[in-house]
């Protein structure tokens, strides 16, 4: 079994947000939704042992994040806690186990957004921050900016007390083999080989006060060059949250940026009165699929409705609606949660 490492402690006091739970805390049933990336291996290539490892990691993420919600903590805390578990698992393309760049280093992007006040934070192209999602939250709570990048983001993280590590901490043999295979192949790849584009992790949460948050963390694309940044750290593309709708995305980031996918879904909910299911399906299947843009999203409404549309072979995904109510699926044929 793959070891699930302890989550990194949250940094940045919530007092910075100047937010408290409403007087009606406890009246809203909390919900946590996570994903571990779209564009997964096809069912016949995922061994039972590896599938069990993925399910165990996703379950651990849900349990840790949902515990925060049951404790009455804000939705952003649950999002961070859930994503930290996935960042510390070598199974996913985030944190430890993230993909390699062309120069054989690991670079991370992450973002978080809080729906109640639409505050957001993001980091891009960082290579030494232990927990990228924590760094994004630090930007949200302790910076006047929304996005910091590269060495500047790392200097900020160090200043606010986040842990910096050597880049080798994030390296895994599996990702090194993937890089070498990718550099030796032509541009014509099968779906399974094309997994260099996918593997982002994310979470959306509804807390007891009825507030939504969304977060996303990734290592980007295998063999990426020239400081490429995808949709994950871009508010409105890979992450979005408002008072009605929260989204975290995974897929071919260039397209998710061009079509502002996360915001587009919530805009359809807010402006056109669409359900999150109809809005998500319209963007993923009617907008992205015709242009061969693969990927998916997890969506959560303020009423606790969940939607998880994707147009790839599968998407690692899970939902927790009560203490012992965990549902995890991987393939399209697994059905809706």
Q: What is the pLDDT of residues 85-98, one digit of tens each?
A: 999 999 999 999 99
The total of other beta-carbon atoms located within 10 Å of residue 333's CB is 9
DSSP tally for the chain: helices H, then strands E = 8, 12
Which H or E run contains 34? Answer: strand 31-38
pLDDT tens-digit map of 231-270 = 999 999 999 999 999 999 999 999 999 999 999 999 999 9
pLDDT tens-digit map of 115-130 = 999 999 999 999 999 9
Model confidence at 299, pLDDT cuts 50, 70, 90, reads very high
Residue 336, pLDDT > 80, answer: no
Using alpha carbons, select from 54, 197, 77, 74 the residue that is nearest to residue 137: 77
Model confidence at 198, pLDDT cuts 50, 70, 90, reads low
Using alpha carbons, select from 305, 258, 255 the residue that is nearest to residue 279: 305
Domains and CATH numbers, the chain: 26-119+163-332 (3.60.20.30)
Catalytic residue flag (residue 200): yes
Q: How far apart are CA 89 and CA 103, in angstroms?
A: 23
Model confidence at 40, pLDDT cuts 50, 70, 90, reads low
313-322: average pLDDT: 96
DSSP assigned state of 6:
P
End-to-end CA distance of the chain: 25
> Residue 243's pLDDT is what?
98
Query: How far is residue 204 from each of residues 115, 171, 194, 297, 334, measured CA to CA in Å?
Result: 10, 27, 26, 10, 21
**106-115, 176-185, 293-302, 320-329: which range is least confident on average?**
176-185
Model confidence at 44, pLDDT cuts 50, 70, 90, reads confident
Residue 242 backbone class (left: φ over 0; alpha: ψ -120 to 50; beta: rest) = beta
Which H or E run contains 300? Answer: strand 295-301
Selected catalytic residue, list 40, 88, 101, 200: 200
pTM of the model: 0.89
Percent of the chain with pLDDT over 90: 82
**180-194, 197-211, 315-329: which range is least confident on average?**
180-194
Residue 4, pLDDT > 80, answer: no
């Amino acid at each position: 079994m793959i070891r699930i490492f302890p989550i990194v402690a949250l940094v940045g006091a919530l007092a910075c947000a100047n937010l408290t739970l409403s007087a009606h805390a406890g009246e809203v049933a909390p919900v946590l939704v996570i994903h571990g990336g779209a564009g997964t291996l096809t069912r016949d290539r995922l061994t039972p042992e590896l599938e069990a490892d993925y399910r165990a990691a996703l379950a651990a993420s849900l349990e840790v994040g949902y515990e925060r919600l049951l404790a009455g903590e804000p939705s952003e805390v649950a999002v961070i806690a859930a994503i930290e578990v996935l960042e510390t698992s070598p199974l996913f393309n985030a944190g430890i186990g993230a993909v390699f760049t062309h120069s054989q280093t690991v670079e991370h992007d992450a973002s978080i957004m809080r729906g109640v006040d639409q505050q957001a934070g993001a980091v891009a192209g960082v290579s030494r921050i232990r927990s990228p999602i924590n760094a994004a939250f630090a930007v949200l709570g302790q910076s006047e900016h929304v996005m910091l990048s590269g060495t500047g983001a790392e200097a900020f993280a160090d200043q606010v007390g986040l842990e910096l590590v050597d880049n080798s901490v994030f390296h895994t043999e599996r990702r090194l083999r993937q890089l070498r295979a990718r550099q030796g192949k032509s541009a014509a790849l099968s779906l399974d080989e094309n997994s260099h584009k996918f593997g982002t992790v994310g979470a959306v949460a509804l807390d007891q006060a009825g507030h939504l948050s969304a977060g996303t963390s990734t290592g980007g694309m295998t063999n990426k060059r020239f400081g490429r940044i995808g949709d994950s750290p871009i508010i409105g593309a890979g992450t979005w949250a408002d008072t009605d709708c929260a989204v975290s995305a995974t897929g071919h980031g260039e397209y998710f940026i061009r079509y502002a996918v996360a915001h587009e879904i919530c805009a359809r909910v807010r402006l056109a009165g669409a359900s999150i299911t109809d809005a998500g399906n319209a963007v993923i299947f009617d907008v992205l699929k015709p242009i061969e843009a693969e990927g998916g999203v997890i969506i959560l409404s303020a009423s606790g409705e969940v939607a998880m549309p994707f147009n790839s072979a599968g998407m690692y995904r899970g939902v927790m609606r009560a203490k012992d109510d965990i549902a995890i699926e991987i393939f399209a044929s697994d059905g809706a949660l």
